[in-house]
Structure 1
Amino acid sequence: MVAKQPLLRRIVIAFVVMTFCVSGLFSLSIVAVVHFIEENLVSQELNEELEGVLQHDLANGLPPRLDSRTRFFASDLPRYTTPPQFAKAEQGFSEVVDETQAFYIFRSDIGGQSFFLVQEQQEFEERETALYRAVVAGFVLSVILSWILGLWLARKIVAPVVRLASQVRHRDQLHQLAPNIAPDYADDEVGHLAQAFDSTLGQLRKSLERERLFTSDVSHELRTPLMVINSSCELLDVATNLEPRQRDKVQRIKRATDEMNSLVQTFMLLARATSSDSIEGGRVTLRAVADEQSTRWGGMIREKGLTFEMVDQGANDTCYNLTFLRTVMSNLLRNALHYTEAGGVRLVLMADGFCVVDSGVGIPLEQHEQMFKPFVRGQQSRGEGLGLGLSLVKRICSHEDWVVSVKNLEPSGSEFRVFLKPAE
């Protein structure tokens, strides 16, 4: 897998690598040229000079006419005895370098005799070493400067992209009156990207607005028939000629109507732009909602042959949004009722939230995240739901900055825990 690197770092790395390659190639070329000159031109010069000594000086009985840095040796001429350090030199051009001295040697074998021309090159070697050091220093300096220059240029190049990312990431971009981004940028690749973001954000704004209007309109239109049904149930409930079974049916209709009314209110609040608008749902303590939901669901849970218990482990007096808290707790208790066939259900109140514990079938670990997505139901589905209950719980918690989690219990069952953010 290719490691993901920030764009700025990738530009700097590319800049440094390019400089490393170009500067390295240039440095190696300098070394190669110096070596070529040293081996070929010096070799040619020494060869011509040795031929002049042999053909003109020695042939005429004259001593070799050489400068102070160059000496002549021969294998069979006692006057020009070859020192041991030069005797093993190879045919042609070679170098001998020790700790204190350096020599060029040119050896020529003629008629069984070996002739040597030796030239001191200490000064040239020192200059060559200085040149190599300068090349290495220049190479290192060029890489360092390329890193500094690359970093400066990368920041200049990436700055529009960083600014564009910051603008797109800002939550106000989803506001209907948010201005377009593209006019702030030049007509280049970044400007084209900004135009694409403007187009996508515009479509997203329209989609969100349609969703808000639809949710608000539908919720508003449902209120009237729900109010009619609810008032009709209240009138039927006070009638004295209803049989117990009929009265029970009326109560179930009324509970369903109250639940639908609560969901309508929930959807209307979720359609608002910010969580601060949710204050319209009313404020209530955790204990008050728990008492209400225990009364509502406790009877149905016990009717199924299960045990129900509410445990208060120190619920605080902080007030939360009534509609949202009621919907979250109601959905979790309903979920526990549907998926529990034996044992019981517990509603536990804590200082930082609450949890619903059941002894039902549980949820496989790999499905924990999936269960909070829309239209996802457990493998052993219960009831006639569409798999929207836990999705709605997750959406409300995200809206209110609450945290919902689930874990399995041994030997069976689940625990849904909701951490409530204190109201500001």
Structure 2
Amino acid sequence: MPTQRTGLRRKIWVAFILQAAAISFAAVLGVYGASAVLKHVLIQRALQEEAGHYWQRLQRDPGSQVPDTYNMTGFLIPAGGSKDVLPAPLKNLPVGFHALPRSQGGSLVLVEKDGNGHLLYLLFKQEQVDSLAFWFGMAPLAIVLVVIYVIAWSTYRASKRAVSPVIWLAGQVQRWDPKNPESSALRPENLPVDVEGETLVLASSLHDFASRIESFVERERDFTRDASHELRTPLTVIRVAGDMMAGDEGLSPASRRALNRIQGAGRDMEALIEAFLILAREGDTGLPDDDFAVSEIVAEEVDKARLQLTGKPVQLELVLESDFGLHAPARVLSVMLGNLLRNACHYTDQGSVTVTVRRGAISVTDTGVGMNAEELARVFEPFVRVGDRKKDGQGIGLSIVQRLSRRYGWPVRLESTPGRGTTATIRFPQVTPA
């Protein structure tokens, strides 16, 4: 499972590998330092003490022999004596402590001179230096490294067992369908025996959360279904009754104006319900995609908008520069364009409203009240009304347009000048032939 291979277990494994590598590096560095101390400090000190002891013996007994043991070899050159008895690598060495290169034997050499001018050469054999470095350095290092690796592996196994319930829980959640999470695996009776402590609390919380989501989704589906039927039925009655009343030639002008307002409010309510029902659906399980020509939808919405201009000196015009097609829900475009047209007709008392269709874009231009920069910056906020606030309206039409544009990837741009009008443009990044 991806969570197990690349998630928490992998991070723990990498952490332990890095930890073991760091400890190993520190141990090797420490042993190397200890070897250097052994070679250049302890052996040097041992040679110096051996030389001091020999000078004391030489004062008591001029015939004392120089040290000659398994580890150490000595040479004494009397004052003014010849150095021919010395091995070649020692003849030119000054007084002090020296480390010969391996090509010359690799021994550690101490050269000392007493007050009488005698020269003492003490050699500590390289083989013994290497043996001491091994037994006091490499062997303990190997043991330490083995212990470190065993402890690291044991700790990793214990950590792996500790996080296994969390990984199992992550795997269960990963397989959930976001629109219908299956929480039955997280019921207390279905949990593995090693799920306990904080993981048990987390599993119980996720089970409760998923159950609530299932309840919310079911309520949303019921609301969408019921609202689609219950809200449209009375609006249909209002619309039919209004159409019948509009055919009565005996209506007074005041009654006809009131009837026009009722019909306009009914149309707005229908469009608002349609928009809410679309927004209530899941993005990938909502309306089916259709292949349609944009000009057909635009023409339908323009015809509907003409009813809103009854009695106004406003000309509504459709300009078709270039038609194109879309593969998307046609009702979404109807709702977006319908809201833009309602806004344009609502805030335009005289002049014109022009809808222009060009390839990849639809523009709605009016000669209404317009907006300033501050109003334009807030125009997409819910329940914000700009322009002429004396006019009726809910202030959510453009908010709905923006939410739909984001869901379907159709960006909307507004350009406006106070007193001169507004242009709203919907752009479609992906189009098809009309």
Q: Verify same fold: TM over 0.5.
A: yes
**In the alignment, structure 1 residue 14 sits paired with structure 2 residue 15:** yes
2:295 — aligned with what?
A: 287
Q: 1:405 aligns with which of 407, 411, 416?
A: 411
Q: Which runs of 5+ in 2 are unaligned?
A: 1-5
Q: Deviation of residue 311 (structure 1)?
A: 2.8
2:219 — aligned with what?
A: 210
2:94 — aligned with what?
A: 87
Distance 1:284 1:243 in 2: 43
Q: Deviation of residue 260 (structure 1)?
A: 1.7
**What residue identity is the alignment partner of 1:222?**
L
- Residues 175-213 of structure 1: CA deviation (Å, up to 9, x unaligned): xx7644464665145554333222222223323433443
CA contact (8 A) 2:324 2:431 kept: no
2:3 — aligned with what?
A: none
2:55 — aligned with what?
A: 54
Please identify runs of 4+ aligned residues in structure 1 that moved more than 6 A: 125-136, 153-156, 281-284, 301-307, 339-343, 362-366, 420-423
- Residues 232-260 of structure 1: CA deviation (Å, up to 9, x unaligned): 21221111112455434423422321332
What secondary structure is seen at the aligned counterpart in 2 of 1:404?
coil
1:76 — aligned with what?
A: 79
Go from structure 1 to structure 2 and tell me whether the alpha carbon gap of 1:57 and 1:304 turns closer, same or farther (over 3 Å shift). Answer: farther
1:263 — aligned with what?
A: 272
Q: Deviation of residue 355 (structure 1)?
A: 4.2
**What residue identity is the alignment partner of 1:237?**
A
**What residue identity is the alignment partner of 2:195?**
D
Q: Deviation of residue 292 (structure 1)?
A: 2.4
**In the alignment, structure 1 residue 171 sits paired with structure 2 residue 178:** yes
Q: How many residues align?
A: 398
Q: For 1:192-203, list aligned pairs within 5 A.
A: 192-203=201-212
Distance 1:365 1:7 in 2: 50
Distance 2:265 2:376 in 1: 33
Comparing 260-269 with 303-312, greater Cα deviation is found at 303-312
Q: 2:122 aligns with which of 118, 122, 131?
A: 118
Go from structure 1 to structure 2 and tell me whether the alpha carbon gap of 1:315 and 1:115 turns closer, same or farther (over 3 Å shift). Answer: same
**In the alignment, structure 1 residue 326 sits paired with structure 2 residue 328:** no
Distance 2:119 2:22 in 1: 45
Go from structure 1 to structure 2 and tell me whether the alpha carbon gap of 1:282 and 1:120 turns closer, same or farther (over 3 Å shift). Answer: closer
Q: For 1:373-388, list aligned pairs within 5 A.
A: 375=382, 377=384, 382=389, 383-388=391-396
Q: For 1:337-352, list aligned pairs within 5 A.
A: 337=345, 345-350=353-358
Q: Deviation of residue 96 (structure 1)?
A: 2.9
Go from structure 1 to structure 2 and tell me whether the alpha carbon gap of 1:166 and 1:258 turns closer, same or farther (over 3 Å shift). Answer: same
Distance 1:310 1:114 in 2: 120
Comparing 245-254 with 296-305, greater Cα deviation is found at 296-305
Distance 2:349 2:99 in 1: 97
**Aligned-residue CA RMSD (Å):** 5.0
Q: 1:312 aligns with which of 299, 320, 323?
A: 320
What secondary structure is seen at the aligned counterpart in 2 of 1:100?
helix
Go from structure 1 to structure 2 and tell me whether the alpha carbon gap of 1:159 and 1:275 turns closer, same or farther (over 3 Å shift). Answer: closer
**What residue identity is the alignment partner of 1:349?**
V
Distance 1:39 1:366 in 2: 82
CA contact (8 A) 1:363 1:414 kept: no
CA contact (8 A) 2:372 2:416 kept: no
Q: Deviation of residue 12 (structure 1)?
A: 5.4
1:38 — aligned with what?
A: 39
- Residues 74-122 of structure 1: CA deviation (Å, up to 9, x unaligned): 5835245996753242xxxx33345834442335565475754331544
**What residue identity is the alignment partner of 1:197?**
L
Q: Which runs of 5+ in 1 are unaligned?
A: none
Go from structure 1 to structure 2 and tell me whether the alpha carbon gap of 1:287 and 1:56 turns closer, same or farther (over 3 Å shift). Answer: same
Q: Deviation of residue 327 (structure 1)?
A: 1.7
CA contact (8 A) 2:320 2:358 kept: yes
What secondary structure is seen at the aligned counterpart in 1 of 2:180?
helix
- Residues 293-338 of structure 1: CA deviation (Å, up to 9, x unaligned): 2233357579777665423243346686454332221112233455
Distance 1:379 1:219 in 2: 30
CA contact (8 A) 1:340 1:358 kept: yes
